[in-house]
Amino acid sequence: MIKAGIVGGTGYTGVELLRILASHPAVKLTAITSRGEAGQRVSDMFPSLRRRVDLNFVAPEDAALEQCDVVFFATPNGVAMKQAAALAAAGVKVIDLAADFRLDEAGWEKWYGMSHAAPELLAEAVYGLPEINRARIRKARVLANPGCYPTAVQLGFLPLIEADAVALDHLIADAKSGVSGAGRKAAAANLYAEATDSFKAYGVGGHRHLPEIRQGLSRVAGGRDIGLTFVPHLTPMVRGIHATLYARLTSELSEADLQVLFETRFAGETFIDVMPPGSHPETRSVRASNHCRIAVHRPQGGDTVVVLSVIDNLVKGAAGQAVQNMNIMFGEEESLGLTMTPVSP
Amino acid sequence: MIKAGIVGGTGYTGVELLRILASHPAVKLTAITSRGEAGQRVSDMFPSLRRRVDLNFVAPEDAALEQCDVVFFATPNGVAMKQAAALAAAGVKVIDLAADFRLDEAGWEKWYGMSHAAPELLAEAVYGLPEINRARIRKARVLANPGCYPTAVQLGFLPLIEADAVALDHLIADAKSGVSGAGRKAAAANLYAEATDSFKAYGVGGHRHLPEIRQGLSRVAGGRDIGLTFVPHLTPMVRGIHATLYARLTSELSEADLQVLFETRFAGETFIDVMPPGSHPETRSVRASNHCRIAVHRPQGGDTVVVLSVIDNLVKGAAGQAVQNMNIMFGEEESLGLTMTPVSP
Amino acid sequence: MIKAGIVGGTGYTGVELLRILASHPAVKLTAITSRGEAGQRVSDMFPSLRRRVDLNFVAPEDAALEQCDVVFFATPNGVAMKQAAALAAAGVKVIDLAADFRLDEAGWEKWYGMSHAAPELLAEAVYGLPEINRARIRKARVLANPGCYPTAVQLGFLPLIEADAVALDHLIADAKSGVSGAGRKAAAANLYAEATDSFKAYGVGGHRHLPEIRQGLSRVAGGRDIGLTFVPHLTPMVRGIHATLYARLTSELSEADLQVLFETRFAGETFIDVMPPGSHPETRSVRASNHCRIAVHRPQGGDTVVVLSVIDNLVKGAAGQAVQNMNIMFGEEESLGLTMTPVSP
Amino acid sequence: MIKAGIVGGTGYTGVELLRILASHPAVKLTAITSRGEAGQRVSDMFPSLRRRVDLNFVAPEDAALEQCDVVFFATPNGVAMKQAAALAAAGVKVIDLAADFRLDEAGWEKWYGMSHAAPELLAEAVYGLPEINRARIRKARVLANPGCYPTAVQLGFLPLIEADAVALDHLIADAKSGVSGAGRKAAAANLYAEATDSFKAYGVGGHRHLPEIRQGLSRVAGGRDIGLTFVPHLTPMVRGIHATLYARLTSELSEADLQVLFETRFAGETFIDVMPPGSHPETRSVRASNHCRIAVHRPQGGDTVVVLSVIDNLVKGAAGQAVQNMNIMFGEEESLGLTMTPVSP
């Protein structure tokens, strides 16, 4: 059994990790930390976990995390980078669900406004998008679990960029997220009566997932620059990201060719489901599961290709992908503990 | 492996049965019928089941249901009663998720407006509320799966009536259901723009679950009459029933006594979770799971006891309870295939 | 023109007052205070008011409220009682939308846990339910605007109690509120991802609106005690209260008699709409309007009468009723500025 | 008073027209037709209109529509074109909220699959986007009220195209609509349990509003071709359209220049609200009102301009704009009866 610890388990990615790990056949949950809630039963805070998770929150210093095989950080940005070195030195694998190890050092400092506490570990850390990076993930000691938007957007652009089929200078990612993406912090803007029955963009001027997407796609493009306009939106639903992607075709690919391109690229991928031609995937079709469903269109036979990519932001966009990465890192079957069927309706 | 067939799999109880049975370790799904959709892939209608359910709908006459070990009817009222006899004669267990076998013959004819097609089978059929009726379920050939409201309401009143602690003449059940309870039929009243952001009662004059609850509770009360006012309401959410139950205490039971009464009654029940004193269970705490969570209150020390009982109407109120009954009927562990953790948020 | 000031305009009752008063033909909005937001444009906080409300928030001490004709308090409990005396002395009418002047002094201290700052003013204050108290409202200097639940519940029980038609010892009010009733404070429990797609009771042990309802109905009953069980619930919608009321009939009144009783009682009331027999009013049918719609049932011919009463908690349950009271206090037509048609869908 | 009739008042645009016209100071509602509901009280179907609209539905042949001053068609596509000629001949102004008079004849036949019943009237009909077409609207006999998406999209692109500031060959309109846009027809896809808590694109291959937008923008661009990719999405909310528009700048315009461009263009427009720099308008900020709020961004100083444009699809996107057009056609003040403040929350 893999002994797993969770640092910071009181947010939505934390409780989703608990939901998944509680049923994972190869994992034994050994500790979950929260300074604020130390001593409280996890299932008192999350009644959905009654009879499933029989743990109390513990203070970080009492958690004996160095005795775990893997530690997940479901913490705010800037926490994992301070604790990862000690854990790594103790032979504990670190999976960070925050942003500490996603960007290079300059990018981190620019977009997150902090100097990095562990630049050498950052240099070593592996970006955990398995569909791109599986080989490196296998050997990672410190894993940067991708952001939710970056997961949906990169997977959707991936086949087009690998095939050098689109112009890289004017990619557009119009992305829509459920409100759980904003976390469980009490903030007026995320109150029910503020967020329901309404729709808005945010962060148009510059969102922190923009450099992450650009960096990831640039690697796919052999280091070429990525010109990307990224507009995230808040949608009145709990879970789900829908990325609508636009790119200009530079090669002669019919809609059927594009379909083949996508199906071929993702043929061996357990969690990537290329939908039939003409499809419009709904976010609820992946609710509470680790799938990404993708459809590709070439409307009106024009030279603009449109890709629709949906994930559950808390699963493939966070906790599920983290467990997928853990499976890879520990040599387990990649889908172990992740075979839950989406909940619909 | 238990070979299972489903008749009428295009509604919400049908797709939920598919979701549960697709992961059930002792079940092999062999057929799912739909006259209207014969030939269509199940996962084309329900994309959430892509890569999970690899079946086509078949016409009923092509389904070879008599070769199944068990057949679930997820059909409108009045269908199962016509087909159950032939299946039972062929040694197939029948589990009806509709109302055909829930009431006695007079009750059926009065409340459902049809004469019963199989009165002798009706007399034999077992009412499938395991927490009351487990022994008889074990031997049932034809099983009447309880209605969603009746499940939540009966479980909540059960300890009080068994203990003869409340007046039976003026029970009140104020119940609230998510919209999935209305099924997947296209009806203007259930459109998104009609049902969202609004709340209403319905069927105050008389709902078909009223006689089912009265009959069930009367049996618990040794045949005494049950005076029940039952008011169902439509709530803008997908899944979930919240029953708020009111009864007048006739014995001297403190709130602590009531807590003990409930905890004792349900001590051995896997799916019944008596919450700590002072709790207010949320429907989402059981979402997509087979649990019923219950809290008991005696407000202001008065003589009115208030019970709060929540279930997922599609799981413990329909498909999950049906599978629980199947497990009992086939000698499997009662929770087999039903251990999914609630999805929250 | 009535010069109106608002103290504490940053919550939902505040912004709703602004919406209504901005279109009121006899009102001139002169000041709106908020210590925290002083200097900010009201319409920057509430973009829905752009081009409608051209005011900045001002600090309370800069508001010159004593020059208003009327001041509305849309503040937390315990604020108005400290400022009302000075305003009243200056000849300014005070309308408190919080609870400071609703209960008698003992009730206030017990349920709100503070000693009252202005007991003599409390003794003089008028409870502003126009359908009961119109004559006294006309002359009020300090008006206690009723709570949202108490408005819906009292209006529903009113005809029955006035007619001495029901037993007073076991009234039950099962009430459901939209989330805006919890206000605009950032609290984790009211986050979108916590409150949506779920339903729960709260405050079963004792809610502050319980003594308010009891006190109001007791006055209607000539001072007799009211035995009331009151269970509030949180519903995933923004606006609306649905009160489902249960009482035991003590006189021989058919459903038709009850219908006549209600229609007669409310015949002259502009804002009380007794629905036709057999109706189930939806909360959305009063959304954004000052109406209360009521239906009365006697299910199955039993001796339990069921009343369904719906209001918009922010309008008839708060800001709209406050303006209705203002109209009465200033001799205007009671419906002036309150004729907006409900918004549906 | 303007005598107004409505043909087909049982859908959402119909009931919204009723809500607005019932309070319009210069309008007398004289008839509302529905063959299916003839004889029924309007307020029985729409309880929100009780005490506001005192009319019965009448059969079309009994409606004496030729005695109206104006007739609104809130009918399915293909109805108005058959009845408009007779009404126009009788001197009745016709305002069609469906698509019959929006496209030229070839466009109509291609996109709506019917030959046009009144091509000469179509040639004469005026496209009713007041912010572009006010002068012609003033004299129109037959008015084509724009579609909901086309209103939001055209208004957002308008200043950019008039100023010749962007490349016309690759415009992108990523638009999101509330579910009321799908109408009040019973269709499974629009059921609450299908449409809530989920997000999806639809009609990516070609939506009927695409040619309408292209035609409208092409006129603005002096007849030049418009290369537009238009992707509509269904959002789980009732009302509201959010259009996110992308275009490549061809002139050197800073974000501040763009702000001035938009503010100048819409300076005199009552219903167009250009938000401050950096804004993200929410759909709820225009809920139940006739406003369009617009923000313009130039993210990261790149050459892609992003415009955010929000309307209430039932008001500025349908019934409100129709009344705005009526006001212009009858020489009334343009905002008469349309001054309602948005309802938020």
Per-residue pLDDT tens listing for chain D (345 residues): 999 999 998 999 999 999 999 999 999 999 999 989 999 999 999 999 999 999 999 999 999 999 999 999 999 999 999 999 999 999 999 999 999 999 999 999 999 999 999 999 999 999 999 999 999 999 999 999 999 999 999 999 999 999 999 999 999 999 999 999 999 999 999 999 999 999 999 999 999 999 999 999 999 999 999 999 999 999 999 999 999 999 999 999 999 999 999 999 999 999 999 999 999 999 999 999 999 999 999 999 999 999 999 999 999 999 999 999 999 999 999 999 999 999 999
Catalytic residues of B: 148
The DSSP bridge pattern shows strands A272-274 and A292-297 to be: parallel
Query: Is there a contact between D281 and A170 if contact means CB atoms under 8 Å apart?
Result: no
Give Rg (Cα) of chain C: 20
Using alpha carbons, select from B130, B343, B344, B148 the residue that is nearest to residue B241: B148
- Cα dist. A152→A102, A257, B342, C76 in Å? 16, 22, 25, 44
Phi, psi of D165 (to 5 degrees): -100, -10
pLDDT of D124: 97
Q: d(Cα C284, Cα C315) in Å, to the nearest integer? A: 13
Measure in Å the smallest separation between the Cα of A107 and chain B Cα atoms. 32
Query: Is there a contact between A287 and B342 if contact means CB atoms under 8 Å apart?
Result: no
Q: Give per-residue pLDDT as tens, B209-242.
A: 999 999 999 999 999 999 999 999 999 999 999 9
> In chain A, at which residue ranges do the beta strands (DSSP E only) sit?
2-7, 27-33, 70-73, 93-96, 126-127, 142-144, 171-177, 200-201, 228-234, 241-248, 272-274, 292-297, 304-311
Confidence class for position C176, pLDDT limits 50, 70, 90? very high
Does residue D335 sit at the A interface (CB-CB below 8 Å)?
Answer: no
The answer to whether residues B53 and B22 touch, using CB atoms and an 8 Å cutoff, is yes
Q: d(Cα C55, Cα C111) in Å, to the nearest integer? A: 36
Which helix H or strand E contains B233, and what residues bound it?
A: strand B228-234
A50, A294, A313: best to mutate for the B interface, most B CBs within 10 A: A50
Please state, as a whole number, how many other Cβ atoms lie within 10 Å of the Cβ of residue D265.
19
Restricting to C residues 229-268, those with a Cβ less than 8 Å away from any Cβ of A are 236, 238
Chain B residues with CB under 8 Å of A341 CB are 19, 22-23, 48-49, 52
Q: d(Cα A193, Cα D344) in Å, to the nearest integer? A: 9
- Contacts of residue A268, defined as CB under 8 A and 6 or more positions apart, other chains included, come to none
Please state, as a whole number, how many other Cβ atoms lie within 10 Å of the Cβ of residue B303.
17
Assign 3-class secondary structure to chain D: CEEEEEECCCCHHHHHHHHHHHCCCCEEEEEEECCCCCCCEHHHHCHHHCCCCCCECECHHHCCHHHCCEEEECCCCCCHHHHHHHHHHCCCEEEECCCCCCCCHHHHHHHHCCCCCCHHHHHHCEECCHHHHHHHHHCCCEEECCCHHHHHHHHHHHHHHHCCCECCCCEEEEEEECHHHHCCCCCHHHEHHHHCCCCEECCCCCCCHHHHHHHHHHHHCCCCCCCEEEEEEECCCCCCEEEEEEEEECCCCCHHHHHHHHHHHCCCCCCEEECCCCCCCCHHHHCCCCCEEEEEECHHHCCEEEEEEEECCCHHHHHHHHHHHHHHHCCCCCCCCCCCCCCCC
Chain C residues with CB under 8 Å of D293 CB are 47, 50
Q: d(Cα B77, Cα B97) in Å, to the nearest integer? A: 9
Cα dihedral A341→A344→B4→B6 (10° resolution): -160
Q: pTM of the prediction?
A: 0.97
DSSP C78: T
Cα dihedral C6→C7→C8→C11 (10° resolution): -30
Phi, psi of A295 (to 5 degrees): -130, 145
Query: Is there a contact between A200 and D287 if contact means CB atoms under 8 Å apart?
Result: no
DSSP C300: G
Confidence class for position C9, pLDDT limits 50, 70, 90? confident
The answer to whether residues A180 and A257 touch, using CB atoms and an 8 Å cutoff, is no
Phi, psi of C287 (to 5 degrees): -60, 130
Does residue D336 sit at the C interface (CB-CB below 8 Å)?
Answer: no
Query: Is there a contact between B172 and C176 if contact means CB atoms under 8 Å apart?
Result: no
Query: What is the DSSP code string of A234-294?
Result: E-SSSS-EEEEEEEEB-S---HHHHHHHHHHHTTT-SSEEEPPTT----GGGGTTS--EEE
Does residue A206 sit at the D interface (CB-CB below 8 Å)?
Answer: yes
D229, D237, D248: best to mutate for the A interface, most A CBs within 10 A: D229
pLDDT of C199: 98
Closest by Cβ to D345, choosing from A176, A193, A231: A193
Annotated active-site residue C148? The verdict is yes
Average pLDDT over residues C229-255: 97
CA angle (A117 as vertex; A114, A120 as ends), nearest 5: 125
Please state, as a whole number, how many other Cβ atoms lie within 10 Å of the Cβ of residue D123.
12
Query: Cis link prior to D345 (omega < 30° from 0)?
Result: yes
Measure in Å the smallest separation between the Cα of B306 and chain D Cα atoms. 30
Instruction: Supply the ipTM of this predicted assembly.
Output: 0.97
Could you give the strand order of the β-sheet that contains D70-73, starting from the edge strand earlier in sequence? Answer: D27-33, D2-7, D70-73, D93-96, D142-144, D126-127
What is the overall mean pLDDT for chain C?
97
- In this prediction, the residues of chain A whose per-residue pLDDT falls under 50 are none
Distance of CA B36 to the CA centre of its chain: 26
Q: d(Cα B239, Cα C238) in Å, to the nearest integer? A: 19
- Contacts of residue D133, defined as CB under 8 A and 6 or more positions apart, other chains included, come to D126, D127
Could you tell me which residues are beta bridge partners of residue A58? A33
Domains of chain A and any CATH numbers: 2-124 (3.40.50.720), 149-312 (3.30.360.10)
Query: Is there a contact between D242 and A233 if contact means CB atoms under 8 Å apart?
Result: yes
Does residue C335 sit at the D interface (CB-CB below 8 Å)?
Answer: no
